[in-house]
Amino acid sequence: MEKDKYILAIETSCDETAVAIIKNGREIIANVVASQIESHKRFGGVVPEIASRHHVEQMTVVLEEAFSESLLTWDDIDAIAVTEGPGLVGALLIGVSTAKALAFAKHKPLVGVHHIAGHIYANRFEREFAFPLLALVVSGGHTELILMREHGNFAVIGETRDDAAGEAYDKVARMLELPYPGGPQIDRLASTGKETIAFPRAWLEEGSYDFSFSGLKSSVINTIHNAKQRGETLRKEDIAASFQASVVEVLTEKTYKAAMEYGVKQVIVAGGVAANQGLRTALDQRFADTGIPLLIPPLKLCTDNAAMIGAAGTIFYEQGKRAGWDMNAHPGLLLT
């Protein structure tokens, strides 16, 4: 029988300091996430310098907590995986430096992981992948349709030309004076509102799997301003529901078309916006009669965590991918 593999994973690309220990790529032994949301809330978004400082303060605490949760010791750990990009450079650097120092001191192999590969692999805790598969990645920094033909192989077939879906959610939430992060707030309001405003859908050219959310965002701003000038008050719930309807329809239709064109065996939804109830329901309905299984991670694995980095890191480790001591933080790292 093959020996169990334990990967220690670190994620610090944005505002969560996270450490996890993963067994054989699919079992979570420990998963600790220290969120900084409270510190960034009053600024209405993530402040990079504050994020880095928090990561420095939290890293050792989170690491120790992960080990105590796991009941394992360093002797059990086979390799260390860390997010090397994309993300905030100062934030990424704390994770990368920690991983390098630990790998050096404890004589462990080091594996670099792309943050989005992590989001996709969060789904492997639920079910084994079947290829080809299509992943819709929707987060604060990303909106991409990715075709995977095998493990560790990522082809981007569509991406946003401007704002990411989560970014659009957060910006619209700010206009509605909702607290950061706005995505969950809009999702909650939308569930009680009605689609009373016909916001545009950015389909782009025929056959394109790219996205665009800046026109929608401007349309929401204009609608709010015009209403104010006329002395009208729009219900926040209805603006939220109308905005969400536009985002969800475009995401769902493009994902459906791509899934049909490429004849995929699974559709995966990943990233923070995968937590969106409206999107989950719409995708569920769209794929209900197709026979194609739809995989969406449980809520706590949708937003940033290190378990997902460990899941992807295990695959890369098994494929023999190793990072050297010259590994660096790559804020604009591409998924290849």
| Residues constituting the chain | 336
Beta carbon of residue 187, minimum distance to ligand KG4 (angstroms, whole number): 4
Beta carbon of residue 316, minimum distance to ligand KG4 (angstroms, whole number): 19
Which partner in Zn ion, ligand KG4, none is near 275 (CB below 5 to 8 A by kind)? ligand KG4
Interface with ligand KG4 by CB under 6 A: which residues? 14, 139-141, 166, 169-170, 181-184, 187, 271-273, 275-276, 303-304
Near Zn ion by CB under 5 A: residue from 12, 36, 139, 244 = 139
Nearest Cα residue to 63 out of 122, 25, 12, 114: 12
Nearer to Zn ion, 15 or 237 (CB): 15
Nearer to Zn ion, 187 or 304 (CB): 304
Which partner in Zn ion, ligand KG4, none is near 273 (CB below 5 to 8 A by kind)? ligand KG4
Nearer to Zn ion, 237 or 304 (CB): 304
Q: Does 304 bind Zn ion (CB under 5 A)?
A: yes
Nearer to Zn ion, 58 or 139 (CB): 139
Beta carbon of residue 118, minimum distance to Zn ion (angstroms, whole number): 8
Beta carbon of residue 135, minimum distance to Zn ion (angstroms, whole number): 13
| Cβ neighbours for 97, distance < 8 A, ≥ 6 positions apart | none
Beta carbon of residue 232, minimum distance to ligand KG4 (angstroms, whole number): 27
Nearest Cα residue to 121 out of 13, 14, 271, 252: 271
What does DSSP say about strands 155-159 and 143-148: parallel, antiparallel, or unpaired?
antiparallel
Beta carbon of residue 122, minimum distance to ligand KG4 (angstroms, whole number): 10
Q: Tokens at residue 32, please? A: 């600790």
Which partner in Zn ion, ligand KG4, none is near 58 (CB below 5 to 8 A by kind)? none
Three-state secondary structure along the chain? CCCCCEEEEEECCCCEEEEEEEECCCEEEEEEEEECHHHHHCCCCCCHHHHHHHHHHHHHHHHHHHHHHHCCCHHHCCEEEEEEECCCHHHHHHHHHHHHHHHHHHCCCEEEEEHHHHHHHHHHHCCCCCCCEEEEEECCCCEEEEEECCCCCCEEEEEECCCCHHHHHHHHHHHCCCCCCHHHHHHHHHCCCCCCCCCCCCCCCCCCCCECCHHHHHHHHHHHHHHHHCCCCCCHHHHHHHHHHHHHHHHHHHHHHHHHHHCCCEEEEECHHHHCHHHHHHHHHHHCCCCCCEECCCHHHHCCCCHHHHHHHHHHHHCCCCCCCCCCCCCCCCCC
Which partner in Zn ion, ligand KG4, none is near 170 (CB below 5 to 8 A by kind)? ligand KG4
Site string for Zn ion, 91-130 (x = CB under 5 A): ----------------------------------------
Which partner in ligand KG4, Zn ion, none is near 193 (CB below 5 to 8 A by kind)? none
Q: Does 84 bind Zn ion (CB under 5 A)?
A: no
Which partner in Zn ion, ligand KG4, none is near 183 (CB below 5 to 8 A by kind)? ligand KG4
Beta carbon of residue 136, minimum distance to ligand KG4 (angstroms, whole number): 13
Which partner in Zn ion, ligand KG4, none is near 181 (CB below 5 to 8 A by kind)? ligand KG4
The piece of 105-113, 133-141, 154-162, 285-293 that touches Zn ion (CB under 5 A) is: 133-141
Nearer to ligand KG4, 23 or 142 (CB): 142
Name the site residues for Zn ion (rule: CB under 5 A). 139, 304
